[in-house]
Amino acid sequence: MAAPVIVLAWAARALDDAEPNVDHYRWQPGPDRSPEPWQPWQPGPPAEQELPGWLAERLFDQRTVMLRGPLTHPVATQTAAALLTLDATGDEPVQLHLAGLDGELPAAFAVVDAMDAMRCEVHAVVTSQVGGAVVAVLVAAARRSAYRHARIRLAEPRAAGVTGTADEVAAAAGRHLNELEEVIVRLAAVTGQPRSRIEDDLSAGRTLSAAEAREYGLIEAIVGEKD
């Protein structure tokens, strides 16, 4: 019966050596496992969801490119690459489906420049809502249409955040004004509206229905409209 006593004594000495400041023979409170205080759910920014690979491939085979969500530089690069690739593979028109309310103007012109360089026509279709810099992409298309419940918001595209010296900030502001001027010129040429009206609508953030956009001259047809 001496063996258990020896084992217990050896274990106690080992604990004392490992943690000399802890009394292993007294009760010690356990770690605090109380639950975290309840926090109400806060909605976060919507995540950008990519199309499933099989669906993107199927659309690409049908010469259709989708531009969705905020128009950032990575999105513009991917869209321009898809457009130029389809342009190199055939002469049939490319369908560009648009659904985005925000974006950076330099990113929009990256897509516009690719469209201007293409041999085949780009037919833009507004599938949901577009606005801001995405409108510049819309008016660069050879043909423009929209679904019946689509909305187009005429709003001055936001300027990309710039940090640096006063001269660098001033130069970036100048580039933004030049790009905005080109958007206004393109809008006036496509819609036939007076420049003053376009400037007022951009400042006011006017939203147009599909029917109003057709009357305005932004689109030429409404998809699915019944006579």
pTM of whole model > 0.85? no
Nearest to 137 by CA among 90, 57, 87, 83: 83
Which domains does the chain show, CATH number per domain?
A: 53-223 (3.90.226.10)
Contacts of 156 (CB under 8 A, 6+ apart): 132, 180, 202, 203, 205
Query: ∠ at Cα 136 (199, 162), nearest 5°?
Result: 85
pLDDT digits 0-9 by tens, 121-171: 999 999 999 999 999 999 999 999 999 999 999 998 876 666 667 767 777
pLDDT at 63 over 60: yes
The confidence score (pLDDT) of residue 49 equals 54
Q: CA separation (Å) from 46 to 52, 78, 97, 110, 180?
A: 18, 20, 20, 24, 27
Quick one: pLDDT band at residue 43, thresholds 50, 70, 90?
very low
pLDDT digits 0-9 by tens, 66-88: 999 889 999 999 999 999 999 99
Q: What's the rounded Cα separation, in Å, for the pair 31 and 155? A: 56
pLDDT at 39 over 60: no
Q: CA separation (Å) from 24 to 7, 10, 28, 32, 85?
A: 16, 13, 8, 19, 73
134, 108 in Cβ contact below 8 A? yes
pLDDT at 93 over 80: yes
Q: What's the rounded Cα separation, in Å, for the pair 204 and 130? A: 16
146, 123 in Cβ contact below 8 A? no
Please state the φ and ψ torsions of residue 99, each to the nearest 5 degrees. Answer: -160, 90
- DSSP reduced 3-state for 227: coil
Q: Is the dihedral of CA 153, 157, 143, 51 positive or negative?
A: negative
Q: What's the rounded Cα separation, in Å, for the pair 5 and 206? A: 88
* Strands (DSSP E) found in 101-147: 122-131, 143-147
